[in-house]
A and B are shown apart, each in its own frame.
Chain A
Amino acid sequence: MRHKTFLWFFLPTGLAMLLFIAMPIVSVVTQSIFAPHPAVLLEVENCTPLIGCTTETTVDQEATAALRAEKPLGRFVGLDIYFNRGHLAIQEIGQIWAANETWGGFFTELGNLPFYRAMAFTLTFVAVVTPLTIVLGLVIALAVNSLHRQLKGLMIFFSLLPMIVTPLIGSLILFWMIDSRGVIGNALVYLAGDPDFSLKASTGLMWVALMVYGVWHAAPFAFVVFYAGLQTLPQDQIEAAQIDGATRWQQVKFVVVPHLMPLVTFVALIQLMDNFKVFEPIIGFSAQAHAQSLSTFIFYDLGGETRQLSSAAATSVMTIFGVAILLSPVLVRTWRDFKGAR
């Protein structure tokens, strides 16, 4: 394709991407380096029903409005918000580093800072759920593919159910099942022989539950992709392998998986991105006490009675960086393959 043709071909997409992807990112970055003006506070009398009047502090609207009119973006704070305790906590890390002799103590105290605690959960979630999703998806795809033709449709439908169910509903169903009065929760109490046993009260078990949900929800996606890939598997290669005496395991390992490798990369990319932004199960399981992610931080920054827009924006930018770092090995490899292919 000539460059000019390509340009015209790409222009509508490019414009849409500029408008709906690039501009919002610019706006988010801008928001994250500006914060609201210092509040001008006033002492006033505040009267409440059934109580009477008390002296309270409030914002001086006229003075604040003047400040805002002068500089509508707010005050420039540079990277302050990125470095404060709610985010990278640079100063706090310095203090913890100075106060601790051992790595153990350092990591324990590091876990007390919200960002690093969220990272501990998020990265564990990504590292566990992504490979398990791929393996499980592949196993289901191979199993369904070997079924009789008439059974396939039905099985595909059932295998896709977890993806069809709305994420929040899916996690809520599981949440009720693991409640200490739910089916699974009750069974666990019986097995543990302890009436006070509670899955939701244990951080470790809650993590397991979240990861089980993560795999359960994402496996159908991997399955569909791999199943589609299996339909393009060249039968003569399989037959050749069979004639050479390859076992079923060897056929999968040396013929099927290499054939599906580009799809594995694709699923891995999508899953890395999705899992890094884990959100619905944490909300659905009410697991805030045990697990946090950058996405739930944004949710709480925006959902509190005082919205923290700058903080939410900084977390969003950090999410973009996090995803970029996670994807970089896969992207570099794809780029190399692309260069090699030319």
Chain B
Amino acid sequence: MFLKKIALAGSVAAFAASAGYACEIGARVNIVGNEFAAIQAVAAGAKECTGASVESNLTSEHQTINVAGLSGNPSEYTTAIIANSSVVALMNEDVIRPLNDLVEKYGQDLQPGQLIKIGDNIMAIAFMANAQHLMYRKDILEQAGVEVPTTYEEMLEVAEAIRAQGIMQNPVGGAYASGWNLAQEFNNMFLGYGGSHFKPGTAEPNVNSEAGVNALNMMKALSEYMNPDFLTHDSNATNAEYRAGNVAIMNMWGSRASQQTTTEGVLQEVIDGHAIGAPLTVGGGDIPATTLWWDGWTVGKNISDEEAEATFIAMKHGIRPDMLNDETTPLAVWLIEGYQPGKDAEGVFAAAKMGTPPYPMLPYMGLMHSALGNELADFMQGKESAEQALADVEAAYRAAAIEQGYLQ
């Protein structure tokens, strides 16, 4: 895996060198961001720039350091690579700058869809999209004689058929680990049932509703077909189960699609049988039970204008159309001009086409997500009713929102 990363970075660098693409910057650039292949490719692209230092700190713990790292003056980092959930924390703390002038000066060739606008301000430049959608083993479904499901209700039938025929005891996979993952699965299902997390125009919670109860009951029904350890399985563990041939069907992140068959040690039957599909709907709803995400970069507020300019140029160099090649193209659903989506991208595009709602970009959504992650495990273990679990979520959220000043 490590060798692959080096090879990847190397090939990107070699490609740029051969193309003779010039990127001159006049001040330091320092990147903080999440760690996965697509982001590593972007950071490697930014590092080709010459004239000043370009450093990066890519870690899965990025969100615990990016606010602190962009505060202070001058701040440690000049840019943070974020997603639609985490940009909110940076905006709440007022540590990133509007990019309107820089886009006008250096970013005329960016796609309009890449500009993340909050009101009139461009706050981030998106470079990839992501969504959870169906991944399944077509060989197992064929063996069981069932169709590919389009709704969660059908997924339950498929699971029952696979179990009843003794093909797999626990055919359903899901990132249901207590905490962030479990909360995200609830968000998917809740939005699929037509729920909305807050009362319109306010920070008042609104999850203890019919949609919330339905969402929890569906999650519980699915969990009956999962490995009994499901409350400890995050997306990494769920994918490991899938690649080991222990899972036949699951709702999984699009950004993982290309790695399902290429990771070391994947069983041959998984490589042959792997297939992806559109996200599922639930409860007769017409929008899928999933959320649409983007990843993008921002420019810090607490740095000099020269550094901001250098950061913009370098980061834009990292996501220029030329950076797409055989190695980097399958890594993500890029929002970059000239991107030719491959098979792995079908799920995310299907999600977008079906009108999947974006993950709510609200200042208080992070608090709701934490409250959901902490309070739903009791219900999943059968220790309390759905109504009680959702009442607990609202109470926990309310306490946090009052502390943070969103509620009185």
Q: Which segment of A56-64, A132-140, A143-151, A264-272 sits at the interface?
A: A56-64
Partner of B294, one of A42, A49, A58: A49
Q: Which one of A47, A49, A65, A180 contacts B335 once the chains associate, using CB atoms below 8 Å? A: A49
B195-232, CB under 8 A of A: which get 1 and which 0?
A: 00000010100000000000000000000000111111
* Interface positions of A from 279 to 301, Cβ below 8 Å from B: 285-289, 300
Interchain CA distance A288-B229 in the complex, whole Å: 13
Q: With A38-B408, A51-B358, A84-B403 in contact, is A306–B117 under 8 Å at CB?
A: no
Q: Are B178 and A201 in contact (CB under 8 A)?
A: no
Stretch at the interface among B44-52, B271-279, B361-369: B361-369
| Residues of chain B contacted by A300 (CB below 8 angstroms) | 179, 370, 374
Interface membership of A152, Cβ < 8 A: no
Report yes or no: B179 in contact with A288, Cβ–Cβ below 8 A: yes
Once A51-B358, A86-B400, A300-B370 are accepted as A-B contacts, the answer to whether A306 and B119 lie under 8 Å apart by CB is: no
- Are A200 and B232 in contact, with the CB atoms below 8 A? yes
Q: How far is the CB of A74 from chain B (nearest CB, A)?
A: 8
Once A201-B228, A286-B232 are accepted as A-B contacts, the answer to whether A56 and B361 lie under 8 Å apart by CB is yes
Q: If the complex has contacts A49-B335, A306-B370, are A286 and B129 also in contact, measured as CB distance less than 8 A?
A: no
- A198 & B67 in contact (Cβ 8 Å cutoff): no
A-contacting residues, B340-393, CB 8 Å = 352, 356-358, 360-367, 369-370, 374, 377-378, 380-381, 384, 388, 392
Is A27 an interface position by the 8 A CB rule? no
Q: Is B399 an interface residue (CB 8 A)?
A: yes
| A326 → B minimal CB distance (Å) | 25
A80 vs B405: C-alpha distance in the bound complex, in angstroms? 13
In the complex, which residue of chain B has the Cβ closest to the Cβ of A197? B228
Asked if A47 and B403 make an inter-chain contact with CB atoms under 8 angstroms apart, the answer reads: no
Say if the beta carbon of B63 comes within 8 Å of chain A: yes
The stretch of B88-96, B137-145, B310-318 in contact with A is: B88-96
Name A39's contact: one of B67, B115, B405 (CB within 8 Å). Answer: B405
CB distance from B69 to the nearest CB of A (A): 13
Cα distance A39–B396 in the bound complex, in angstroms: 19
Evaluate whether A306 and B352 lie within 8 angstroms (CB atoms) in the complex, with A47-B116, A49-B126, A85-B395 already known.
no
* Contact across chains for B381 and A203 when beta carbons are under 8 A apart: yes
Residue of A54, A58, A179, A308 with highest tally of chain B CB at under 10 A: A58
B239 at interface (Cβ–Cβ under 8 A)? no
Are B363 and A307 in contact (CB-based, < 8 A)? no
Query: Is A289 a contact partner of B129 (Cβ separation < 8 A)?
Result: no
B118 interface contact, C-beta 8 A: yes
Contact A180 B227 (CB under 8 A): yes
Q: How many chain B residues touch A (Cβ–Cβ < 8 Å)?
A: 69
For A195, what are the chain B residues with a Cβ–Cβ distance below 8 Å?
A: 169
Task: Please determine whether B113 and A198 come into contact, CB atoms closer than 8 angstroms.
Answer: no
Determine if A50 and B113 form an interchain contact, defined as CB atoms under 8 angstroms apart: yes
Chain A residues 20-79 with CB under 8 Å of chain B are: 35-39, 41-51, 53-54, 56-59, 61, 64-65, 75, 77
| A302 to B61 Cα, complex, angstroms | 11
Q: How far is the CA of A310 from the CA of B401 in the complex (A)?
A: 12
Give the docked Cα–Cα distance between A64 and B405 (Å). 11
Give Cα A310 to B352, complex, Å. Answer: 39
B-facing residues in A167-209 (Cβ within 8 Å): 179-180, 195-198, 200-201, 203
CB of A218 within 8 Å of the partner chain: no
Partner of A289, one of B63, B357, B377: B377
Contacts of B365 in A (CB 8 A): 305
Is the Cβ of A308 less than 8 Å from the Cβ of B231?
A: no
B84 part of interface (Cβ distance < 8 Å): yes
Contacts of B201 in A (CB 8 A): 43, 57
B interface footprint on A96-119 (CB within 8 Å = 1, 0 otherwise): 000000000000000010100000
User: What CA separation (Å) do A9 and B114 show in the bound complex?
Assistant: 64
Within the complex, the shortest CB–CB distance from B229 to chain A, in Å, comes to: 4
B41 CB to closest chain A CB (Å) equals 18
Does A81 count as interface, using CB distance less than 8 angstroms? yes
Q: Does B403 contact A310, Cβ atoms closer than 8 Å?
A: yes
Is there an interface contact between A54 and B358, defined as CB atoms closer than 8 Å?
yes
Bound together, the chains give a CA A288 to CA B376 distance in angstroms of 11
B86 contacts A by Cβ under 8 Å: yes
A311 interfacial by beta-carbon distance below 8 Å:
yes
Q: Which residue of chain B has its CB nearest to the CB of A37?
A: B405
B126 contacts across to A, CB distance below 8 A: 49
Residue contact A200 to B231, C-beta cutoff 8 Å: yes
Contacts of B243 in A (CB 8 A): none
Q: Are B129 and A49 in contact (CB under 8 A)?
A: yes
- Say yes or no for A340: interface residue by CB 8 A criterion: no
Q: Give the Cβ gap from A184 to chain B, nearest Cβ, in Å.
A: 13
In the complex, what residues of B have CB within 8 A of residue A286's CB? 177-178, 231-232, 234
A sample of 14 inter-chain contacts (CB < 8 A) reads A43-B201, A45-B119, A46-B117, A49-B126, A50-B292, A50-B294, A56-B360, A57-B363, A77-B403, A196-B169, A288-B179, A288-B377, A306-B364, A306-B367
**Other A-B pairs, 8, CB within 8 Å; known A51-B292, A289-B231:** A43-B201, A48-B358, A51-B358, A81-B403, A196-B169, A203-B381, A303-B63, A308-B367
Taking Cβ atoms with an 8 Å cutoff, the residues of B that contact A are 63-64, 67, 84-86, 88-89, 91-92, 94, 113-119, 126, 129, 169, 177-179, 201, 203, 227-232, 234, 292, 294, 335, 352, 356-358, 360-367, 369-370, 374, 377-378, 380-381, 384, 388, 392, 395-396, 398-400, 402-406, 408
